[in-house]
Copies of this chain bind each other. A is one copy, B any other.
Amino acid sequence: MAIEHPYLLFLGDAPDQLAAKTAQGIAHWRPEWCLGQIRLKGCNADLGLTEMTLTKAVAAGARTLVVGVANRGGVISHDWIDILEKALIMGLDLAAGLHGRLADVPSLAAVAEQHGRHLFDVRHPTRGFQVGTGENRPGKRLLTVGTDCSVGKMYASLAIEKEMRARGMKVDFRATGQSGILIAGNGISVDAVVADFISGAIEWLAPANDPDHWDVIEGQGSLFHASYAGVSMGLLHGAQADALVLCHEPTRTHMRGLPDYPLPGLKDCLEANLEAARLTNPGVSAVGVAVNTSQMPDGGSGALLRSIEDELGLPAVDPFKSGAAPIVDRLA
């Protein structure tokens, strides 16, 4: 079941812009879905969207209020309940990607039930999946893989989808994490799936399709991350990827959350991913490297991108800054 748009983005009492990162991603990648923003007193985040009351948003056709703010602990704040209840009463669905569930707030569950509205807790899968079959299915698939967690796999995937769409190619972005799901309107938070069904969930997410259709699948974690590699492995196998894009954040000094673990070399990382991906698609190949240069000093990234291109023989781009055209060229 897809989350209906247009969205009204709720920024709550976000102490700073970073706390509204989820809303920012939605506004960046799906501007046409975002009617406006609604904020509580003391909110220090601003997406530059039209400021809207619930009444105005409903009148403008909004379908879902999206909680685009995260707080420490990822809970549904008491201070938000009043406005969330009102939104339900006025006919909006609610969607959130926090650890805490909208559906676990008794008053929200009751009001949603009473008014026939939906609560989307996108971090928590609400359906079961089958065990993966590994059976070859028609359609093409691209998967973003990473040297580490949080290196820009979602942004790279969305930039690639955008470029393919601009060229008139048949393409869908397939979301595997909470921000991606809010951006796509559907998807699976794959790290919350029961371990036995990781690859099966991805087979479901990116099913058989037209031979010239591409699913661009958002990767998660890294084969080299000691906490999450199981998720990354199941994702690789379920994706049956034809094309891999390696994502990297060059200023990272160690694996995220693991101070004793250095990052893998780009070449080793790419080869390990290709090797694992060949199990379910022997024809897989690498088509590019997406480098998140946002933390680099201005002017330093050009030389880095050229050196990566030389090392791997693949186009290397920062897709957020300059798009993904050189990578998409490789898919033609």
* Chain A residues near B (Cβ < 8 Å): 131-136, 190-196, 198-200, 223-224, 226-235, 237, 257-258, 260-261, 272, 275-276, 279-280
Contact = CB atoms under 8 A, between A and B. Distances in A.
A234 B195 contact: yes
Nearest to A131: B227
Contacts of A199: 226-230
4 shortest interchain CB distances as A-B pairs:
A230-B234, A134-B226, A233-B233, A191-B196
Contacts of A190: 195
A303 to B, nearest CB: 30
Nearest to A233: B233
Contact of A230 (B195, B226, B227): B195
Q: Kindly report how many copies of this chain are found in the complex they form together.
A: 2
Contacts of A275: 272
A67 to B, nearest CB: 21
A234 B226 CA distance: 8
A190 B196 CA distance: 9
A134 B228 contact: no
A189 to B, nearest CB: 9
A195 B200 contact: no
Contacts of A229: 199, 233-234, 237, 276, 279
Given A131-B227, A133-B227, A191-B194, 11 more contacts: A134-B227, A134-B260, A134-B261, A193-B195, A195-B230, A195-B234, A198-B231, A199-B228, A224-B279, A229-B233, A230-B231
Given A132-B226, A135-B260, A196 B237 contact: no
8 contacts: A135-B260, A194-B194, A196-B227, A198-B230, A229-B237, A230-B232, A230-B237, A272-B275
Query: Which of A190, A230, A260 gathers the greatest number of chain B CB atoms within 10 Å?
Result: A230
A237 B226 contact: yes
A191 B200 contact: no
Contact of A192 (B135, B195, B228): B195
Contacts of A228: 131-132, 196, 199
A257 B130 CA distance: 13
Contacts of A198: 195, 230-231
A235 B191 CA distance: 15
Contacts of A260: 134-136
Nearest to A261: B134
A193 B232 CA distance: 16
B191 A280 contact: no
Contacts of A280: 226
Contact of A194 (B135, B193, B226, B276): B193
A231 B196 contact: yes
A152 B226 CA distance: 26
Contacts of A200: 227
A260 B190 CA distance: 26
A200 to B, nearest CB: 7
Query: Which of A196, A199, A261 gathers the greatest number of chain B CB atoms within 10 Å?
Result: A196
Contacts of A232: 230, 233
